[in-house]
């Protein structure tokens, strides 16, 4: 396979998600921590102005600014639109220091544990996800394929990419336990990448449990757009747990339960993420899947 020569670790694409922003600043201060023999690593603080303001963004969500036609559109001149172009010129294809693999660090108020978000089924990324799942009990793998996010997010810049989404952690807060768990996960990831880079592939096929995006559900709202209900207490914090037809989804302010009307059992994630209220998302629904990752022979062909 082609060796991964340079990777990027990005944090603070959202300025109020401090876990990634502070981890990236730590790695920038101590570059030996992310150095491995077989590849170079660079760090990038995504949205410094939003971090200083302790806001998700200044003008527009930076992680929606990487669509190619937007990057090439000179009429888009908001802070994040400019910043997306800067980032593209640094680590994008044809940029100053293009990278082969990109890790984007995020945090969420939802109980997402240590979630790996994969936008493609590249065998290397699936193998990395399997290696991390085997070593960290809180790791979950969310396949965001067909969610639309694979065309406008930072990770769309690089064919080998993943986002790490950790929680629950409030915006503008550091939780040491989550900071340390995320750092440990990154070290495991870098070690695994180094290992694979040196030609060590698992001999046979492996199985990977993952959760495939199905769709989003918004809060019940009135005609003015004001929410009329909250996540039901029986659903709160139960990310990646099965939600059966007829189970409680929301609780109105008057105390009435609103039930899930779907016909199949699904697996909600990003339940009650703070930043998604304004995006009209109370939770995502996913399908639990088991993927078969090809072993050594197939991988050598497909990478």
Q: Is 241 helix (H, G, I), strand (E, B) or coil?
A: coil
Structure tokens at 295: 């072993």
277 counts as binding a second copy under rule CB under 8 A: yes
Among 47, 63, 109, 147, binds a second copy (CB under 8 A): 109
Give the separation between CA 112 and CA 166, rounded to whole angstroms. Answer: 6
The contact mask relative to a second copy for 15-54 (x = CB under 8 A, - = no) is: -------x---x---------------------------x
Size of the site for a second copy (CB under 8 A): 29
Shortest distance in whole angstroms from residue 152 CB to a second copy = 22
Q: Which is nearer to a second copy, 107 or 286 (CB)?
A: 107
Residues 129-148: x where in contact with a second copy by CB under 8 A, - otherwise, as a string: --------------------
- Looking up tokens 């491995």 gives 36
Closer residue to a second copy (CB): 1 or 227: 227
CA gap 11, 103 in Å, rounded: 9
Answer for which of 47, 63, 153, 171 binds a second copy (CB under 8 A) is 171
Residue 135 burial by CB count (10 A; 0-12/13-18/19+): exposed, middle or buried?
middle
Give me 34's structure tokens: 């992310």
Q: With binding defined as CB under 8 A, does residue 222 bind a second copy? A: no
Nearer Cβ to a second copy (137/253): 253
* From candidates 1, 145, 214, 230, binder to a second copy by CB under 8 A: 230
Residue with smaller CB distance to a second copy, 71 or 257: 257
Task: Considering the complex, state which of residue 100 and residue 273 has its C-beta at the smaller distance from a second copy.
Answer: 273
CB burial of residue 276 (10 Å; 0-12, 13-18, 19+): buried
Residue 273 CB neighbours (<10 A): 23
Which lies closer to a second copy via its Cβ, residue 251 or residue 299? 251
**Burial (CB count <10 Å: 0-12, 13-18, 19+), residue 49:** middle
215 strand-pairing partners: 285
Q: How far apart are CA 195 and CA 184, in angstroms?
A: 16
- List Cα–Cα distances, 250 to 131, 203, 210, in angstroms: 36, 46, 25
- Looking at the Cβ atoms of 63 and 109, the one nearer to a second copy is 109
CA distance 43 to 245: 44
Q: Is 255 in the site for a second copy (CB under 8 A)?
A: yes
Q: Which residues bind a second copy (CB under 8 A)?
A: 22, 26, 54, 109, 168, 170-177, 179-180, 227, 230-233, 236, 251, 253, 255, 272, 274-275, 277-278
């Amino acid at each position: 396979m082609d060796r991964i020569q340079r990777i990027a670790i990005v944090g603070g694409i959202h300025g109020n998600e401090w876990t990634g922003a502070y981890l990236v600043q730590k790695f920038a201060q101590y570059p030996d921590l992310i150095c491995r023999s077989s590849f170079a690593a660079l760090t990038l603080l995504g949205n410094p102005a939003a971090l200083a303001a302790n806001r998700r963004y200044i003008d527009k969500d930076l992680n929606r600014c990487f669509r190619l036609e937007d990057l090439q559109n000179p009429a888009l001149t908001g802070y994040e639109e400019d910043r997306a172009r800067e980032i593209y010129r640094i680590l994008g294809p044809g940029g100053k220091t293009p990278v082969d693999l990109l890790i984007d660090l995020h945090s969420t108020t939802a109980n997402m544990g240590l979630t790996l978000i994969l936008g493609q089924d590249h065998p290397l990324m699936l193998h990395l996800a399997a290696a991390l799942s085997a070593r960290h009990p809180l790791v979950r793998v969310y396949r965001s394929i067909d969610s639309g996010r694979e065309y406008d997010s930072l990770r769309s810049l690089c064919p080998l990419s993943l986002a790490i989404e950790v929680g629950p952690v409030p915006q503008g807060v550091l939780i040491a336990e989550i900071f340390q768990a995320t750092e440990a996960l990154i070290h495991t990831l870098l070690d695994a990448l180094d290992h694979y880079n040196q030609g060590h592939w698992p001999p046979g096929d492996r199985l990977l449990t993952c959760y495939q995006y199905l769709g989003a559900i918004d809060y019940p709202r009135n005609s003015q757009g004001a929410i009329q209900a909250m996540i039901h207490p029986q659903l709160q914090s139960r990310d990646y747990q099965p939600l059966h037809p007829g189970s409680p989804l929301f609780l109105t302010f008057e105390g009435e339960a609103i039930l899930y009307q779907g016909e199949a059992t699904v697996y909600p994630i990003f339940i009650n993420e703070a930043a998604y209220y304004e995006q009209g998302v109370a939770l995502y629904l996913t399908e639990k899947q088991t993927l078969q990752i090809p072993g050594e022979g197939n991988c050598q062909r497909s990478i």
